[in-house]
Structure 1
């Protein structure tokens, strides 16, 4: 192995109190760098032969404890190097990359600290929704753990079981809500494994299974869609926009509200709506039908190319625009509840209903499942199937009759 680690006194950097930093000297393929330990001593108190602080040093109460701490830091660094060597990764790292892996390993013993730093990185990448999700779940974990820190090695199978019991014991909490939290915890933990913060052998989800209950189907009948279309609101009516958003989502292959909110005039090109989904980054290219055009005409008149099409986002910064979208979605769902009452729709009407209804009605029209999946932007057919109601018996009967004719 062409990699070495040793404790050393960095005599190039003298401090104001005449002490020198104690470092871990890292050598890798004939290049060297240093890793700070956070401790320093005067040169006369450093034993360069034994690579430790001399007993005569009076700067701490217990010199032996200090030397043990230094050896512990050296041991942790060596563990990272050994793991990289075992996995066949060591020879393909520069000395800087190797140092980064060693420093990160020691820095992020705390699952909370690591998760919050990942949330900060997501904000820098302008993925504000996922960042808020990380922060929210970490706050819930902290409440469960009575505001105490959680180390990576403490977040084990037993911890997950206790958190599950804590969550489900609260009135109103659901199994699917727990599943959402667990998926976030799992995502953060997987990032930690990928970055070498924790070993895969410690993975708590090897034994813990995330369970979900079948979700309530959210599609409504075509007759109800027609009733919503027939609502003749004036432009000043408080439900005017909400009706339009619902119908436009249904007509544009179930476009999510967040994507609708961020649509600009320049997304309309040659009679088509071209945009990139916020959640999946998938590119969409949707034909503007006469029905879609009828709704859009009201919103695009006298606007510039960079203007938002719909009056949902009010502020300039992207982070504040996401907050505007959240607030807009909340009001939209309240408006849909009133629209359901007007149309005598018994099912709960939400922003998701237009998307689920589009998928279900497409299935009734015998559009192939892979095509519906592509329209919705799903990467897996199983995700699309969650959106769809069970096929009615008359459709199953017709399929059976076709097979009996073979």
Structure 2
């Protein structure tokens, strides 16, 4: 009878997640199926031990759901093997793999993407699920809701989709956003060995152009902080959220929303980035405490007044508040005559660019912001105000 082993392949990069795969062995013939699930080596070691896998509640929920998904997959494999055994004739490990994949690929690309989105929600990766939902809906509109087989995804189809996106008025960075995420879904199908890699995105743009500067200098941050606003108004609240992000080294709003009071201990704020899972520690400063003290959060476990209602969906509350905050920040930006739309994202870019202008090293900025690599930090710094470069050029040319 065929046997199933659940195995883990760690990443060659220590700070990145490894992958889970299933090994099917029958009559000394072993085959592998990529599960498509990711976690860190330390988490894998404790996943089935019954011990607490993570101190972070959101990460713990993700790992608990991931464990359940693995158990469901292995049960599905066991049922396939049992059915093959019951038929009374020979089969191979390849037969098991093929039947397992067939169960996943009923339908086409839309069906597979929908299943993937459901899985992502179940394991707590809501942000990725929402992104995939957005791009899938766009791709559906392009296809006029006609399903397409995964094996039929080719370069011609992707070039046609890119033209469709351009005709809707999207800029290259926006079309690239859709292409990169459709590619991510397609690559998940390749990882699961549902289809073979045909490189359908080789003739479409999937890069990131240098964007319009989204950082503001320190004097603008001072103006935002000192702007006269009605206390505890919607504009004042938006300004507080912006400043808290800046004070905490450009913390993203989703990470701010889920901060717990228990994350603050001994004068240090500890949290794990939703985007990367990286754990960060921030020395608690009086300006941060002043914002926390300003709002009553006694009825919730959260540090900031973003998620307030336990009976309502926390993710929906976060999205609603994020939208309102960004709308109000743009109004503040207009009051101050700031030439770019003011959003929470500007606080993150501003912290990085101001740190860079103060001659803080790239490695320190990268670590402070929780980036996976310094190349990500360089993308932030690529949009620095050109006046810095102009000043450098002036210094060089002056002695001539």
Alpha-carbon spacing, 1:341–1:27, altered in 2? closer, same or farther (3 Å): closer
1:181 aligns with 2:178: yes
TM, length-normalised to structure 1: 0.71
- What's the secondary structure of 2:242's corresponding residue? helix
Separation of aligned partners in 1, 2:297 and 2:258: 18
**Alpha-carbon shift at residue 111 of structure 1 (Å):** 1.3
Q: Of 105, 130, 133, which aligns to 1:132?
A: 130
Task: State whether residues 272 and 278 of structure 2, in contact with CA within 8 Å, keep that contact through their aligned partners in structure 1.
Answer: yes
Separation of aligned partners in 2, 1:377 and 1:399: 34
Separation of aligned partners in 1, 2:203 and 2:163: 16
1:237 aligns with 2:230: no
What's 1:272 paired with?
268
What's 2:157 paired with?
159
Q: How many residues align?
A: 321
- What's the secondary structure of 1:273's corresponding residue? strand
Gaps of 5+ in 1: 4-25, 41-47, 52-73, 82-97
Across the aligned residues of Structure 1 and Structure 2, the Cα RMSD in angstroms comes to 3.2
Q: Of 104, 108, 111, which aligns to 1:110?
A: 108
Separation of aligned partners in 2, 1:344 and 1:238: 19
Alpha-carbon spacing, 1:370–1:398, altered in 2? closer, same or farther (3 Å): farther
Q: Of 227, 252, 257, which aligns to 1:256?
A: 252
Task: State whether residues 217 and 387 of structure 1, in contact with CA within 8 Å, keep that contact through their aligned partners in structure 2.
Answer: no
**Alpha-carbon shift at residue 217 of structure 1 (Å):** 1.1
What's 1:221 paired with?
217
Q: Of 345, 350, 353, which aligns to 1:352?
A: 345
Separation of aligned partners in 1, 2:286 and 2:103: 61
Q: Can you list the C-alpha shifts for 1:43-84, whole angstroms capped at 9, x where unaligned?
A: xxxxx9xx9xxxxxxxxxxxxxxxxxxxxxx9xx98x93xxx
Separation of aligned partners in 1, 2:335 and 2:292: 24
Alpha-carbon spacing, 1:35–1:315, altered in 2? closer, same or farther (3 Å): farther
Separation of aligned partners in 1, 2:184 and 2:379: 22
What's 2:57 paired with?
none
What's 1:385 paired with?
378
Q: Of 348, 365, 373, which aligns to 1:372?
A: 365
Runs of 4+ in 1 over 4 A off after TM superposition: 30-33, 206-209, 397-401
**Alpha-carbon shift at residue 380 of structure 1 (Å):** 2.3
What's 1:34 paired with?
83
**Alpha-carbon shift at residue 154 of structure 1 (Å):** 1.1
Structure ranking higher on relative contact order (CA contacts 8 Å, 6+ apart) = 2
What's 1:210 paired with?
206
What's 1:307 paired with?
301
**Alpha-carbon shift at residue 117 of structure 1 (Å):** 0.7
Separation of aligned partners in 1, 2:293 and 2:319: 25
Task: State whether residues 101 and 195 of structure 1, in contact with CA within 8 Å, keep that contact through their aligned partners in structure 2.
Answer: no
Alpha-carbon spacing, 1:30–1:334, altered in 2? closer, same or farther (3 Å): closer
Separation of aligned partners in 1, 2:310 and 2:256: 17
Gaps of 5+ in 2: 3-23, 30-80
Alpha-carbon spacing, 1:398–1:253, altered in 2? closer, same or farther (3 Å): farther
Alpha-carbon spacing, 1:209–1:394, altered in 2? closer, same or farther (3 Å): closer
Alpha-carbon spacing, 1:160–1:225, altered in 2? closer, same or farther (3 Å): same
**Alpha-carbon shift at residue 235 of structure 1 (Å):** 3.2
Q: Can you list the C-alpha shifts for 1:348-372, whole angstroms capped at 9, x where unaligned?
A: 2111111111000000100001111
**Alpha-carbon shift at residue 30 of structure 1 (Å):** 7.9
Task: State whether residues 249 and 355 of structure 1, in contact with CA within 8 Å, keep that contact through their aligned partners in structure 2.
Answer: yes
Task: State whether residues 35 and 103 of structure 1, in contact with CA within 8 Å, keep that contact through their aligned partners in structure 2.
Answer: no
1:29-178 to 2 correspondences below 5 Å = 29=27, 33-34=82-83, 81=94, 99-105=96-102, 107-108=104-105, 110-170=108-168, 172-178=169-175
Task: State whether residues 265 and 303 of structure 1, in contact with CA within 8 Å, keep that contact through their aligned partners in structure 2.
Answer: no
Task: State whether residues 162 and 204 of structure 2, in contact with CA within 8 Å, keep that contact through their aligned partners in structure 1.
Answer: no
What's 2:326 paired with?
333
Rg comparison, structure with higher value? 1
- What's the secondary structure of 1:205's corresponding residue? coil
Which stretch shifts more, 127-136 or 101-110? 101-110
Separation of aligned partners in 2, 1:302 and 1:331: 19
- What's the secondary structure of 2:161's corresponding residue? helix
Q: Can you list the C-alpha shifts for 1:233-289, whole angstroms capped at 9, x where unaligned?
A: 443323121111111111110011111111121111111211111111111110112
TM, length-normalised to structure 2: 0.72
Separation of aligned partners in 2, 1:146 and 1:394: 50
